[in-house]
A and B are shown apart, each in its own frame.
Chain A
Amino acid sequence: MKTNSSSGGAACPLAAPRLYETSALRRATGDTLRPGGLSLLQIALQQTNWPAGGRVLDVGCGIGTTAVYLRQTHRLQAMGLDLSAQLLGEAAIANPELPLIRGRAEILPIGDSSLAGLTCECVLSLVKDPLNTLREFHRVLAKDGQLILSDIYRRRDIKDKDLPGNCCLAGAHNRDQLLDWLQQAGFSVQLWQDHSRLLAELAARLVWQHGSMEDFWSQFSADGDGRPMQHAVQAMRPGYCLMIASKKG
């Protein structure tokens, strides 16, 4: 869960950059700032065709954990992109050799068809325009390049108006919508897996650390009331998914 969009407002912890820049979420997620840590990336990497030395971009890289992992374990030329200057600063201090870019997922400062792969974990739900962001991912990938995508998704549809104002979970969409956007953007979907258990474990850790989910949400609510957010989450039944999509020739 990293910063890559201005969608949502200060009331939403998942959209407010400051949350990612505090230890509150990191304590529950570890340095990857997402459910499951590196585990879904490791699953996905078994099904990718990225050659050693291939260029890969991690969109929403946070403090660079994924990019460093890809460089060290798969000998990829991995780079990181994030909007948060603070997280990028941490990444640069910890990994001076890691190429880092400050920018948005929606407008990548990357040439056409220049990447073998792209990772985007727990970020797409935060961007304003997911379809055009996926089109941007498609643009920068080389032919047959692969996108590893993981994110929160809605397991039960509720109307956006039923969500509290400035709620970034409004950016979580259902399975069919995500798959449709991938296809519209020109991708062929190779893999869809549900990993909602990882999100549940993250929520459980937040309960342990903050007392309850309602207490967690209340810390970021403008009026200090975490109940509307908690009710919306329960109605939406958010899950977590892993996808692999390849750029069609």
Chain B
Amino acid sequence: MISLEEAQQWTCDACGQPMVMREVVFLYLNGTFHVDLPACPECDLVFINEELATGKMAEVEGILEDK
């Protein structure tokens, strides 16, 4: 999980705004998920860190692909 403290360490490159934690809705492998992720309050850019991309998303992928 990305903590609020980690989120606040990041700034949106386009807007210069510090990231805030926000519920993000996204589609992944035909599933709809509501997840709290760091996002830019200005342009809604979402930040996914390496741990999330290589860890949690890999587990989710395995589950959804019924491996």
- Chain A positions within 8 Å of B, measured between CB atoms, are 196-197, 200-201, 203-205, 207-213
Contacts and interface: CB of A to CB of B under 8 A. Distances in A.
A160 B34 CA distance: 34
B31 A204 contact: yes
A213 B55 CA distance: 12
B33 A204 contact: yes
Interface string B30-67: 01011100000000000000000001100110011010
8 A-B pairs with least C-beta separation: A204-B60, A208-B35, A201-B31, A203-B63, A200-B63, A204-B63, A207-B60, A207-B59
B49 to A, nearest CB: 13
Contacts of A205: 33-34
A200 B31 CA distance: 9
Given A200-B66, A201-B64, 4 more contacts: A197-B64, A200-B31, A204-B33, A213-B59
Chain A CB within 10 Å — which of B35, B56, B60, B66 has the most? B60
A204 B64 contact: yes
If over half of A's interface residues share one DSSP class (helix, strand or loop), that class is named, otherwise mixed; here it is: helix
A211 B63 CA distance: 14
A198 to B, nearest CB: 10
B66 A196 contact: yes
A208 B66 contact: no
A211 B1 contact: yes
B35 A212 contact: no
A212 B63 contact: no
Contacts of A201: 31, 64
Nearest to A199: B63
A213 B31 CA distance: 17
24 contacts: A197-B66, A200-B31, A200-B63, A200-B64, A200-B66, A201-B31, A203-B63, A204-B28, A204-B31, A204-B64, A205-B33, A207-B56, A207-B59, A207-B60, A207-B63, A208-B33, A208-B56, A208-B60, A209-B35, A211-B56, A212-B55, A212-B56, A212-B59, A213-B63
Contacts of A208: 33, 35, 56, 60
A169 to B, nearest CB: 15
B62 to A, nearest CB: 10
A201 B63 CA distance: 8
A201 B64 CA distance: 7
Contacts of A213: 59, 63
A200 B29 CA distance: 11
A196 B65 CA distance: 11
A144 to B, nearest CB: 37
A127 B35 CA distance: 33
